[in-house]
Amino acid sequence: MAQLTDDCFAFGGRLIPIEEALTDLDRRIRPVAEIESAALRQARGRYLAEDLTAALDVPPHDNSAVDGYALYFDDLLPEGTTRLPLAGRIAAGHMLDGPARRGTAIRIFTGAPMPAGENGSGPDTVMMQEDCTEEDGAVLVPAGLKRGANRRKAGEDVQAGDPLLTRGHLLRPQDIGLAAAQGLTHLTVYRPLRVAIFSTGDEVRDPPADLAPGVIYDSNRHTLAALLDGMGCAVTDLGILPDDRAAIARALGRAADGHDLILTSGGVSGGEEDHVKAAVEQQGSLHFWRLAIKPGRPVALGQVGAVPFIGLPGNPVAVMVTFLRVARPLIQRLSGGIPAPARLFPVTAGFDYKKKLDRREYVRVTLAADGDGKLVASRFPRDGAGILSSMVAADGLVEIGEAITRIEAGGLVDFLPFSEVGL
């Protein structure tokens, strides 16, 4: 009996392992070199174009961690209560008028600088206000405090000369705060990556066009634009192109001018109406077009002139999976980033699964804790590459490596949370 292909992945040519494709791509690309200055408020999500070293200690001075009383630890009786006359008051942002003398306590508030004493010494300890009593201009301090309690040392966060952030780092809110604490108002970043996108397909339309028989509204272009916006790219939307090689070739030629990357969806599988591959070959060169992953096997990777081209498949889930696993690391590198690989976390499979050797598969899952607090991944019941609602419902993807052929419920699997990849 003739052997029918058991799924749409049966085909004669070599399927390229995803790591091989990514390593090869890495060698081919030239990241953006142009830099610009970004105000801190605009710097989130940009890639730092310089190494940042601390010029200042943070905090710049020893200060109190609590509202209370600054005192010399050596003035405290080892047992019982010590009575210290109050000899001053320091609020945050102010200095004590004159030195703090031995045998006294200074009223102090959180963040206020520790007062200086005489001869280079000074109060070294702060008693929290809740733990002592004020009475007739003095404070009663119980025993039991440790030397240095509630005092924050200058430079305990950052010391002048410390390396802070390295070139290629993706700036997050905490990085921006760290730079601000150094008194910086701007950071040197790489300019945004300019990405041209278009969809292909005679069936694909944008509103307000009517949904005539046989046509669908474009979702991919909007998903892609949102993904790229989220990565800080400057997106040029070239709309929808028909299944026409000459039209696609012309658009590719135009897009190569003034962009750093061309990203499309649809038209990359081997059908007679899939013209993207041929159009890229006409305008430039194609390096790969079949990756050993599912969903998303037909990914076309090439270049038009010097501009990299990524042709994602048309199915909306395949678009997202291939974007996350192929386009995203490439975009990070092109943008000047030195990306850390997305982390996978071990979770318990709540499903059985069989797959072919030598191909990497991505299964859409939701996570929930079982009775023992273990995180269990449940497979989304409808897993077609066109079921975009599965991506809305899922928490992430279980990645099943090339060497694995079966998963059994109860075993550990690698989970890629959407939050790891900016979703």
Ligand X SMILES: Nc1nc2c(c(=O)[nH]1)N[C@H]1C(S)=C(S)[C@@H](COP(=O)(O)OP(=O)(O)OC[C@H]3O[C@@H](n4cnc5c(N)ncnc54)[C@H](O)[C@@H]3O)O[C@H]1N2
* Interface contacts to ligand MOO, rule CB under 6 A: 294-297, 313, 315, 318, 385
Smallest gap from Cβ 282 to ligand X, in A, equals 17
- CA 367, CA 45: separation in Å to the nearest integer? 28
Identity of the amino acid at 354: K
- Sorted by sequence, the CB contacts under 8 Å of residue 283 that are 6+ apart come out as 249, 252, 253, 256, 304, 305
Residues 263-282 contacting ligand X, CB under 6 A? 265-269, 274
- CA 359, CA 9: separation in Å to the nearest integer? 10
- Sorted by sequence, the CB contacts under 8 Å of residue 340 that are 6+ apart come out as none
Smallest gap from Cβ 341 to ligand MOO, in A, equals 22
Question: Counting contacts by CB under 6 A, is residue 318 touching ligand X?
Answer: yes
Residues 65-84 contacting ligand X, CB under 6 A? none
Smallest gap from Cβ 395 to ligand X, in A, equals 23
Largest Cα span, the chain = 103
Closest among 182, 189, 169 to 38, alpha carbons compared: 189
- CA 63, CA 421: separation in Å to the nearest integer? 40
Q: Where does this chain touch ligand X (CB under 6 A) — which range of 27-35, 81-89, 312-320, 357-365?
A: 312-320
Residue at shortest CB range from ligand MOO? 385
Residues 154-173 contacting ligand X, CB under 6 A? none
Residue 80 vs 208, nearer CB to ligand X:
208
Alpha-carbon dihedral sign for residues 383, 386, 387, 392: positive
What length does the chain have? 423
Of 62, 67, 218, 361, which lies in the binding site for ligand X, with binding defined by CB under 6 A? 218
How many Cβ atoms are within 10 Å of 201's Cβ, its own excluded?
20
Of 297, 359, 360, 364, which lies in the binding site for ligand X, with binding defined by CB under 6 A? 297
User: The tokens of 215 are what?
Assistant: 């046509």
Question: Counting contacts by CB under 6 A, is residue 299 touching ligand X?
Answer: no
Residue at shortest CB range from ligand X? 314
393 binds, among ligand X, ligand MOO, none (CB under 5 to 8 A by kind): none
Closest among 228, 235, 253 to 331, alpha carbons compared: 228
Residue 197 vs 407, nearer CB to ligand X:
197
Smallest gap from Cβ 373 to ligand X, in A, equals 38
Of 113, 117, 232, 298, which lies in the binding site for ligand X, with binding defined by CB under 6 A? 298
User: The tokens of 299 are what?
Assistant: 């990914």
Question: Which residues are near ligand X by CB under 6 A?
Answer: 8, 11, 199, 201, 203-204, 216, 218-221, 265-269, 274, 297-298, 313-316, 318, 385-386
